[in-house]
Structure 1
């Protein structure tokens, strides 16, 4: 069984791969791609895999945009941090899904369902795409966040955070007083819970607060570089795919 993983969070992709290795199914991982643009390009150059694991939120947009750009005939299991109620359309339209953090028994059940399915996969119709998008409900945005301090945890206000970043599969948050905290969540989980009018994920590994931005400068390869307060030796570069959207976000 040849598998393609579409996931923009390295930690989540690694966790999924580990779970697949523990399953009873023999598989070959073809590759891992992390954006709408790269997924469309991959399908345009390669034979369809036997199965695709696809995250909903990618580095440059929602994965549903892929099906508007190219026909995908491979069976798909979506992975998502959205709650079960919000994604009932997946079941209605016979599209399977796994909730993050993914559990071994849920993965095994999805693989069993795939292996027993005899009907070929069909391209997703545009009206189904609209239904999927309309059924996704934005989670309530949090005002506080639990962080590690010493041997325990403390809660800080989200408004105190200047930026967050991922390093060696660990998520860190930097506050206005230049303190660094460990946040026990992936970048996907963290960003999904934040107010996207105040925070922006400029690339796979960095989320910044609008209030922390002091200067925006042109950068090579059609990107922009940001100067933030309390940078702590961090460089902030907006990915090429997000530059236009980032400028629109700053104008809001």
Structure 2
């Protein structure tokens, strides 16, 4: 740019900004505001340099108004805005320059017209755009064999805290890179998450707010379990599996014969 001056030193010399490209001047202005922070103060020299980037009087006026406006001015302008008369879906905004001729549809009718237009738009897409996707049609072949099955929860039309929950079912029979010793150790360190009936391991997480975060967290746990099961698995062969968590507890049925033996005293009230 200038001999003996760098972009960092130009921040403190706004009088030298004139003649530079517009995007460079804007970058220098933003960098100056950020670097000075609370010590930043607008100046006429800086304003003249920024105004030199304007290509028309209207653009120069917009830059000038934006430069001299303060945060209080922005808040006041927002408070003075008549949001009640802004155009929204299904509402009518009165024009102060034109009297109301009562020639507009009411709000309910405008909602009906809007819904009809949306329906017609989808009909046009179904008639003219969706048939073009037929050339991308492919035959589905479920040949992918994966031991991991991710399950997500979605509530259509509403937000729900349970949407962040992610569950992963691991079919350990499909873990081909593990031998019998490693599989036995994997079952041991999985604890009650291992189901010996269907040979699966279930892991669930809702620790984070986003489902992708929970899925990534579970993937990290799975990698740690598999890596740990490969470390000296032969030393765990003599440890039996604890399957008490999966055994069904007996639920005795009340004998029907006992009901016939006990008949409570019936009291007849006149």
Structure 1 length as normaliser, TM-score?
A: 0.19
More helix by share: 2
TM-score by length of 2: 0.18
**Larger RCO (CA under 8 A, 6+ residues apart):** 1
